[in-house]
């Protein structure tokens, strides 16, 4: 029996009325998602949690948040999802023989390697561990401590981890030695995983500090200026980057000096092939190829193509989890997407409010990225035996998003925060033709994904309410 390929697509902070399908919002330009809904089945009463991280936990475990113990995003940042829970990719891999990939925003723990995706069942991972990263620089914009304990000064830290074996390079990527039982060595696919243990670190920022970001170790040294820091970077052949903080780096309005050695192939952190010791200023219009949604789509397409070439001939199915950063803040989008809503003469699509226009541009950028991925699935043939489940992690935040006609938004218990746009799409043998183009008005929940995907993969587990395995709070919807 040939098992189906499985694709779980998770939008972030998507408003209920931010999409164009089913006539929801005629201003919204989302042709790729519209086509998936038209060829699939919309779920009109699909519920999630009101915050990002608990919803992600439900998708990965099939359990309600009170089982895995966190109800806010900060809980996930501080503690992560307990390691005794068996996540969906681990079950699919160990019991179904699936190759498993995650591309996007994790947000289920990163304070130790055991909490990160490739320790929780994914063969490869590329994306963000945290939240609120800049869409172009890929830096977490907040303050506080990094996972290894060092303090984040002004400008945050780069949060873009690559363990997928792609040529995309990162300035701040965590990994750790994988447990052999969780990931055999042959599954690394040329991974760039670091193996140096994470250091405890201390939350201190020194004066004129030159920080070496290298193999999870942050070593500080004092240099007179950014030029001297850059010289240190050039001398250290294994260096990923050095960031030079001037004395007032932690004060509002001051940007740290940046010097880094970067590959010309680097499309994650835009930079030069030699040291740049200038002052980093607020971002302006950035190269579109550095926009996260398009980077993630490119990486997903690369993994899909490789799977079709290497694993499909062996009869090995694929599970891919695409938890997009889009359309979570900060509100950033390539101008061509925002411009789709900026022409006052285009009465059908013009949006006068600048914040709404930018947000809707982000939705259209996400739509194009999804279209890029589905095009690759069709080109490689994986589309012919594929089941897709699409949902958002919560409702859209207000202002910015549009949740009409629901009340409230993200962070609230109203349906604007918990009832989200969702649909499934499948090849004819997976989604009956009678369901294509229809709406399902019954109750659906994020926890249902776990049991549904297990049944599609012909995996049988006891549905006995066990806290750690089996997705006991959800139900298969096959």
Identify whether 341 is part of a domain.
Answer: yes
Token pair recorded at residue 218: 């942050």
Tens of pLDDT along 5-35? 999 999 999 999 999 998 889 999 999 999 9
Identify whether 310 is part of a domain.
Answer: yes
Nearest-CA neighbor of 369 among 299, 287, 285?
Answer: 299
Mean pLDDT of 311-329: 96
Residue 99: beta bridge partners?
Answer: 318
Tens of pLDDT along 281-299? 334 467 788 889 999 999 9
Residue-number span of the structural domain to which 51 is assigned? 1-121+283-478
Q: Does residue 174 surpass a pLDDT of 50?
A: no
For strand 41-47 and strand 419-420, is the pairing parallel, antiparallel, or unpaired? antiparallel
**360, 351 in Cβ contact below 8 A?**
yes
* pLDDT, position 325: 94
Residue 253 confidence class, pLDDT cut points 50, 70, 90: very low
Q: Does residue 109 surpass a pLDDT of 90?
A: no
One-character DSSP codes across 242-304: EEEEPTTTTSTTPPPEEE----TT--SS---SS---SBP----S--GGG-HHHHHHHHHHHHH
Token pair recorded at residue 411: 């962070």
Q: Does residue 255 surpass a pLDDT of 60?
A: no
Mean pLDDT of 422-431: 96
SS3 for 5? strand
CATH assignment of the domain containing 98: 3.40.720.10
The single-letter DSSP state of residue 78 is: H
Element (H, E) at 10: strand 5-11
Identify whether 412 is part of a domain.
Answer: yes
Identify whether 247 is part of a domain.
Answer: no
Sequence-separated (6 or more) residues with CB below 8 Å from residue 309: none
* pLDDT, position 139: 74
Helix axes 448-456 and 88-96, enclosed angle (nearest 10): 10
**82, 68 in Cβ contact below 8 A?**
yes
Give the burial class of 237: count Cβ atoms within 10 A of its Cβ; 0-12 exposed, 13-18 middle, 19 or more buried. Answer: exposed
Identify whether 365 is part of a domain.
Answer: yes
* pLDDT, position 349: 96
Tens of pLDDT along 112-166? 788 889 889 999 898 888 888 888 877 775 544 444 444 444 445 566 676 665 5
Long-range contacts for 397-402 (Cβ within 8 Å, ≥24 apart)? 397/13, 397/329, 399/355, 399/356, 400/15, 400/329, 400/331, 400/355, 400/356, 400/359, 401/13, 401/14, 401/15, 401/18, 401/327, 401/359, 402/15, 402/16, 402/17, 402/18, 402/25, 402/356
- In the chain, the number of structural domains is 1
- Percent of the chain exceeding pLDDT 70 equals 67
- Percent of the chain exceeding pLDDT 90 equals 51
Of the two residues 195 and 38, the one the predictor is more confident about is 38
Tens of pLDDT along 373-382? 999 999 999 9
Beta-strand (E) ranges in 186-237?
Answer: 209-214, 217-222
Nearest-CA neighbor of 133 among 243, 242, 292, 339?
Answer: 292
Identify whether 9 is part of a domain.
Answer: yes
- Cβ burial 156-168 (10 Å sphere, 16+ → b, else e): bbbbbbbbbbbeb
* pLDDT, position 128: 87
Identify whether 89 is part of a domain.
Answer: yes
* pLDDT, position 225: 56
Residue 173 confidence class, pLDDT cut points 50, 70, 90: very low
pTM, full prediction: 0.77
* pLDDT, position 24: 83
Tens of pLDDT along 36-80? 999 999 999 999 999 899 999 999 999 999 888 888 776 666 678
Over its C-alpha atoms, the chain yields an Rg (Å, rounded) of 22
Rounded Cα gap, residues 381 and 4, in angstroms? 12
Identify whether 197 is part of a domain.
Answer: no
Rounded Cα gap, residues 426 and 444, in angstroms? 17
Which of 123-137, 267-281, 364-378, 441-455 has the weakest average pLDDT?
Answer: 267-281
* pLDDT, position 461: 84
215: left (phi over 0), alpha (psi -120 to 50) or beta: left
Residue 273 confidence class, pLDDT cut points 50, 70, 90: very low
């Amino acid at each position: 029996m040939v098992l189906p390929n499985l694709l779980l697509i998770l939008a972030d902070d998507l408003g209920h009325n931010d999409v164009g399908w089913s006539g929801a919002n005629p201003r919204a330009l989302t042709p790729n998602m519209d086509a998936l809904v038209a060829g699939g089945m919309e779920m009109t009463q699909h519920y999630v949690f009101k915050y990002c991280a608990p919803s992600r936990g439900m998708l990965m475990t099939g359990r309600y948040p009170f089982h895995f113990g966190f109800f806010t995003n900060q809980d996930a940042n501080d503690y992560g999802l307990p390691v005794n829970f068996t996540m969906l990719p681990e079950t699919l891999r160990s019991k179904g023989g699936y190759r498993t990939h995650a591309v996007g925003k994790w947000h289920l723990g990163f304070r130790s390697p055991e909490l990160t995706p490739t320790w929780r069942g994914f063969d490869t991972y590329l994306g963000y561990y945290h939240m609120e990263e800049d869409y172009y620089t890929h830096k977490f914009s907040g303050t506080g401590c990094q996972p290894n304990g060092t303090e984040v000064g002004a400008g945050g830290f780069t949060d873009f981890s690559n363990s997928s074996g792609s040529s995309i390079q990162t300035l701040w990527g965590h990994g750790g030695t994988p447990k052999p039982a969780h990931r055999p060595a042959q599954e690394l696919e040329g991974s760039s995983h670091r193996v140096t243990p994470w250091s405890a670190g201390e939350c201190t920022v020194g004066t004129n500090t030159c920080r070496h970001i290298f193999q999870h170790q942050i070593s500080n040294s004092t240099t007179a200026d950014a030029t001297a820091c850059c010289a240190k970077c050039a001398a250290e052949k294994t260096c990923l980057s050095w960031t030079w903080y001037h004395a007032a780096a932690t004060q509002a309005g001051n940007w740290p000096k940046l010097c880094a050695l970067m590959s010309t192939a680097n499309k994650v952190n835009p930079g030069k092939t030699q040291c740049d010791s200038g002052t980093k200023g607020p971002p302006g219009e950035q190269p579109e190829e550095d926009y996260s949604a398009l980077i993630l789509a490119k990486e997903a397409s690369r993994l899909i193509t490789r799977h079709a070439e290497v694993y499909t001939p062996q009869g090995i199915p694929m599970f891919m989890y695409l938890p997009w950063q889009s359309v979570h803040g900060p509100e950033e989008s390539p101008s061509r997407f925002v411009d789709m809503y900026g022409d006052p003469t285009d009465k059908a699509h013009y949006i006068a409010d600048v914040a709404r226009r930018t947000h809707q541009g982000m939705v259209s950028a996400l739509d194009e990225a999804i279209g890029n991925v589905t095009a690759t699935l069709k080109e490689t043939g994986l589309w012919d035996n594929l089941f897709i489940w699409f949902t958002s992690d919560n409702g859209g935040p207000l202002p910015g998003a549009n949740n009409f006609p629901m009340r409230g938004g993200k962070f609230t218990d109203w349906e604007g925060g918990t009832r989200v746009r969702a649909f499934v799409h499948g090849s004819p043998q997976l989604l009956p033709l009678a369901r294509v183009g229809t709406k399902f008005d019954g109750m659906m929940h994020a926890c249902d994904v776990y049991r549904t995907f297990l049944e599609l993969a012909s995996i049988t587990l006891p549905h006995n309410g066990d806290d750690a395995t089996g997705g006991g709070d959800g139900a298969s919807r096959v």
